[in-house]
């Protein structure tokens, strides 16, 4: 209907602009569909049940009712022709989403009593959780909505605490980062906040730093290794190749993309789940990027440790603006988290202080 109206009523200029918009939408949808095909999200699954002939005598001799066979076959809708094989069309850039309608409002200052904050998050109940990565005092600190310390959970000397991510209402995942002692483990601790204990530990082949829960899995970066994906169902570990990052890299996800910081090269990288790059952000305004998070619109919030600031970057990586700096109390900031439930932004300095902001969309 939109195309029909354009051809009937629009002027030549309006037709041209309208076609650019339609082409942009088609290109965006094609990119997402190809990513789904690559990740086998459109695979057909056939299930076949074979009934055992002895079913009528099952009370005496049958140990099973039958067997189920699962076969996967390519979807019939995955035969997409490349743009190179189609007739040349007008090239249209993706539509930009303005970030100028986002404002930041100070809410409160929090005192964590942590010597080395490297990770932070907010639970559905509103608890602000911080990691203390200081040697020999690795712990989680929980601060309530009134700014008071709710509890402190000290990890055993076998585990350190770098980044933290909420799994559900009562459980968080904590990456160990680099180990301080030879006897320490490297991997991810699953911590029950109610029982105040580690209920599961997933060992990884290196030092894991930034961690993110995408709804079904934990995405974790291991120093100089491929990206690791931990299933929250059975805690099995798989890897995504061709995404190797240095130490102290952080990660977040949005829709079908993964975003991570590379502090050594002062850049942010966006890629698909199969490792295919989408865009990179590299600007002198952001030095040694550390913590990274996104809102539900795909806008990226990232802290610059060396540049001592917080930037908002548009979902396509083309627009940015600085929203916080030293004048707002930032001092060597490392951790950041966007609370999508309350539209609040939590930013933590490297020690002691953290700040909570309300995010407004004008």
Query: Is residue 88 very low, low, confident or very high in pLDDT (cuts 50, 70, 90)?
Result: very low
Quote the CA–CA distance of 8 and 328 in Å, as a whole number.
54
pLDDT digits (tens, 9 = 90+) for 27-81: 777 776 776 676 666 666 666 766 666 665 655 555 566 656 565 555 545 555 5
pLDDT digits (tens, 9 = 90+) for 229-248: 999 999 999 998 888 888 99
Mark residue 233 as left, alpha or beta (left: phi above 0; alpha: psi -120 to 50; beta: remaining).
alpha
* Rounded to 5°, angle at Cα 122 from 120 and 123: 135
pTM score of the predicted model: 0.74
pLDDT digits (tens, 9 = 90+) for 143-176: 999 999 999 999 877 889 999 999 999 999 999 9
> What pLDDT, on a 0 to 100 scale, did the predictor assign at position 51?
66
Quote the CA–CA distance of 165 and 153 in Å, as a whole number.
15
Contact assessment for residue 298 and residue 319, using Cβ atoms and an 8 Å cutoff: no
Domain spans in the chain, listed from the N-terminal domain onward: 2-38, 102-361
Angle between helix axes 2-9 and 12-38 (nearest 10 degrees) is: 160
Q: What CA–CA distances, in Å, run from 34 to 38, 79, 96, 238, 326? A: 6, 10, 21, 21, 43
Spatial neighbors of 350 by CB under 8 A, at least 6 apart, are 116, 117, 305, 331, 332, 333, 334
> What pLDDT, on a 0 to 100 scale, did the predictor assign at position 134?
80
Fold classification of 102-361 (topology level): Neuraminidase (2.120.10)
């Amino acid at each position: 209907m939109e195309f029909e109206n354009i051809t009937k009523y629009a002027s030549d200029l309006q037709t041209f602009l309208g076609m650019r918009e339609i082409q942009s939408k088609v290109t965006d949808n094609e990119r997402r569909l190809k990513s789904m095909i690559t990740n086998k999200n459109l695979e057909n699954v056939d299930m076949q049940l074979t009934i055992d002939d002895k079913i009528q005598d099952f009370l005496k001799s049958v140990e099973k009712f039958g067997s189920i066979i699962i076969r996967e076959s390519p979807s019939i809708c995955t035969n997409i022709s490349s743009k190179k094989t189609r007739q040349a069309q007008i090239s249209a850039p993706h539509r930009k989403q303005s970030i100028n309608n986002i404002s930041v409002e100070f809410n409160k200052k929090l005192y964590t009593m942590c010597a080395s904050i490297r990770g932070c998050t907010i639970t559905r109940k509103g608890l602000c959780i911080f990691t203390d990565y200081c040697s020999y005092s690795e712990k989680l600190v929980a601060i309530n909505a009134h700014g008071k310390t709710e509890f402190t959970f000290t990890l055993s000397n076998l585990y350190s605490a770098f980044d933290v991510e909420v799994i559900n209402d009562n459980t968080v995942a904590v990456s160990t980062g680099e180990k301080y002692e030879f006897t320490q483990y490297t991997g991810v601790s699953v911590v029950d906040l109610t029982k105040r204990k580690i209920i599961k530990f997933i060992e990884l082949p290196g030092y894991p730093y930034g961690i993110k829960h995408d709804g079904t899995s934990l995405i974790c970066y291991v120093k100089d290794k491929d990206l690791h994906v931990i299933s929250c169902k059975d805690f099995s570990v798989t890897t995504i190749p061709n995404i190797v990052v240095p130490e102290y890299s952080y990660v977040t996800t949005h829709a079908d993309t993964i975003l991570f910081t590379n502090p050594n090269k002062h850049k942010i990288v966006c890629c698909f789940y199969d490792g295919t790059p989408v865009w990179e952000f590299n600007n002198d305004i952001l030095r040694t990027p550390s913590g990274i998070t996104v809102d539900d619109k795909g806008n990226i919030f990232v802290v610059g440790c060396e540049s001592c600031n917080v930037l908002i970057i548009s979902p396509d990586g083309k627009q940015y603006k600085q929203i916080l700096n030293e004048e707002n109390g930032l001092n060597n900031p490392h951790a950041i988290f966007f609370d999508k439930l309350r539209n609040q932004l939590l930013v933590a300095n490297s020690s002691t202080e953290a700040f909570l902001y309300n995010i407004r969309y004008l």
